[in-house]
Chain A
Amino acid sequence: MAPARVAFGATPPGGRHQRPGRAGSAASARLGLMWRLLFVLLLGVVGRSALAAEGQRTPVPVIEKATAGTTCVADPATMRRTHMDLLKHQRNDTVRGGVRTGVASLKACINCHASQQTHSVTQGETNFCVSCHSYAAVQIDCFECHSSKPSGAAHTAAVPAVQTVGAK
């Protein structure tokens, strides 16, 4: 009876035997847990953001103010939660349908929220989109294609700079 052929030191048929007396896995698991806890604590200490506002227990990103005298599409809390959905659902209407008058216009957002210093929403660390997104570690894909600068040209007059709340 010829022995079974196996390639590259594979487990022979019948299985390999467990070596008795191997150090218990329970002990090494406890040790691993300790290191993990230490690591997390260390992270918490080191991870204090440079952008943390003064006197806050939890560091929050610095949010630059938008153009004075304007109101956003909805209140800040709602916008924080839903701005991505508003933009995403609007964009198909705009691109595929040619509807240019929707409420959630990215260009309008940028027109209001562009920084006074850098004239952009992504250039500086504290600029509007970047400060929250880098804090939340959510990569923004929009500005690979979209300009991050406000557009003051004449033929964008159809997009109002000021949106009123509850326009939808």
Chain B
Amino acid sequence: MSGTPDTKTPATPARRGFLGVAAAGLGGVFIAPGIQLMEVAQAATPSAGANPQVRWGMLVDTSKCAEGCSDCVSACNKENGLNPQVSATSAQWIRKIEIKQISTGRTASAPVMCQHCAEPPCVDVCPTGASFKRADGIVLVDRHACIGCRYCMMACPYKARSFVHEELQEQVADVPRGKGCVESCTLCVHRIDQGDKTTACAQACTQGAILFGDLNDASSDIAKRLREVQTTQLRADLKLDPGVRYHGL
């Protein structure tokens, strides 16, 4: 051994050179495409389609909701091609919740679906911007961008989102949905965009418990009704301003 006290001998120049070139090359390979492709995801794209003057919403009259009735759920399943078989991993865009108040003993029944908040926490947390709020207030998942991280499911106070845990076969043509992506109630956006005036669940309810309409239109049925009866939003304390309101809770 030579007399140098320091044992840290520099690597041979050839090796260093190789390492340097490799690092630069790798860096270039990683960065270059990103510069062209990187875009900032937008929460809502204004266009001719969704009308920003409109805000779609729902009014659920729980006094008309029968305990054990799930017509709205069946209709939603049929409309969107969901598997009606309930399991821990099955997608449920709407579900009936049976409620019993502890202090008074009063019971109620209510369908709960995505509340289409004006300040949706699911939209805030989505890393790719796949969870977004459309100009007309409908909160949707853009499955082209969804990576299936499930962060939005953690963020939703209403547990509205479902994750598709297995491969799907017979999707409805108007409702594309697939394994590995997150989904939730779309307010039947595929029908609404074609000019339909209501959603499948509202249509199916024989008691007329669900009323769908434009919250921003003062002359719409839903707006008139909201002025007449007392309604609440679920978890109103979170100040998310949901588009779904409940009467009778």
Q: Do A and B bind each other?
A: yes
A44→B180 CA distance, assembly (Å): 37
A98 interfacial by beta-carbon distance below 8 Å: yes
Residue in B closest to A14 when the chains form the complex, CB atoms: B9
A95-B140, A98-B49, A151-B172 known; 20 new pairs, CB 8 Å cut-off, are: A3-B1, A13-B8, A91-B144, A93-B47, A94-B49, A96-B44, A97-B47, A97-B134, A98-B47, A98-B135, A98-B193, A99-B47, A100-B49, A100-B193, A145-B143, A145-B181, A151-B173, A153-B173, A156-B174, A158-B195
Q: Is B3 within 8 A of A99, CB to CB?
A: no
Chain B residue with Cβ nearest A15: B12
Measured CB to CB, the closest approach of chain B to A18, in angstroms, equals: 11
A98 touches B136 (CB 8 A): yes
Q: Mark A117-156, 1 if CB is under 8 A from B, else 0.
A: 0000000000000000000000000001111011101011
Q: Which residue of A lies closest to B43 (CB)?
A: A96
B49 lies within 8 A of A155 (CB): no
Contact B3 A100 (CB under 8 A): no
- Is A107 interfacial (CB-CB < 8 Å)? yes
**Residues of chain A within 8 A of B143, CB atoms compared:** 145
> Residues of B with Cβ closer than 8 Å to A?
1, 3, 5, 7-9, 12, 42, 44-50, 132, 134-136, 140, 142-144, 167-168, 170-174, 176-181, 189-191, 193-196
* A to B contact number (C-beta, < 8 Å): 93
Taking the closest CB of chain B, its distance from the CB of A141, in whole angstroms, is 9
Q: Which B residues lie within 8 Å of A13 (CB)?
A: 7-9
**Chain A hits for B132, CB < 8 A:** 96
The smallest beta-carbon distance between A21 and chain B, in angstroms, is: 21
The answer to whether B191 touches A93, judged by C-beta atoms less than 8 angstroms apart, is: no
Give 11 CB contacts A-B under 8 Å. Answer: A3-B1, A13-B8, A96-B132, A96-B142, A98-B136, A99-B47, A99-B49, A144-B167, A146-B178, A155-B191, A155-B196
Indicate if the CB atoms of B50 and A98 lie closer than 8 Å: yes
- Taking each of B48, B49, B178, B180, which has the highest tally of chain A beta carbons within 10 Å of its own beta carbon? B49
Q: Does A110 contact B (CB under 8 A)?
A: yes
Judged by a CB distance under 8 angstroms, whether A1 is at the interface is yes
Which residues does chain B contribute within 8 Å of A70, judged by CB atoms? Answer: none
Interface centre among B5, B8, B191, B193 (most CB of A within 10 A): B193
Which residues of A are found within 8 Å of B181, using beta-carbon distances? 145
Per-residue CB proximity of A85-113 to B under 8 Å, as 1/0?
Answer: 00000011111111110000001001000
Q: Is A7 an interface residue when CB atoms closer than 8 A count as contact?
A: no
- Is A4 part of the contact surface with B, judged by Cβ < 8 Å? yes
In contact, A1 and B136 (Cβ under 8 angstroms): no
Contact A146–B171 (Cβ < 8 Å): yes
Query: Nearest Cβ distance between residue A90 and chain B, in whole angstroms?
Result: 11
Residues in B with CB closer than 8 Å to A91 are 144
A145 and B171 contact, Cβ closer than 8 Å, known pairs A96-B142, A100-B193: yes
* Inter-chain contact A147/B135, CB cutoff 8 Å: no
- In the bound complex, CA of A151 to CA of B47 (Å): 26
Q: How far is the CA of A95 from the CA of B172 in the complex (A)?
A: 16
**Bound-state Cα–Cα, A146 to B173, Å:** 7
Q: Are B142 and A95 in contact (CB under 8 A)?
A: yes
Instruction: Determine if A147 and B5 form an interchain contact, defined as CB atoms under 8 angstroms apart.
Output: no
With A1-B5, A144-B179 given, is the CB distance from A155 to B173 under 8 Å? Answer: no
Which residues of A are found within 8 Å of B47, using beta-carbon distances?
A: 93, 96-99
How far apart sit A100 and B48, CA to CA, in the bound complex (Å)? 10
Task: Find the A residue at minimum CB distance from B170.
Answer: A147
Chain A neighbourhood of B49, CB < 8 A = 93-94, 97-100
- In the assembled complex, the CB of B63 is this many whole angstroms from the nearest CB of chain A, namely 31
Q: Please measure, in the bound complex, the distance between the C-alpha atom of A149 and the C-alpha atom of B45, giving whole angstroms.
A: 29
Q: Smallest Cβ distance from B91 to chain A, in angstroms?
A: 13
Q: Are A156 and B142 in contact (CB under 8 A)?
A: no
What residue of chain B has the Cβ atom nearest to residue A150's Cβ? B173
Instruction: Known A146-B176, A155-B194, A156-B174; judge A1-B134 contact (CB<8 A).
Output: no
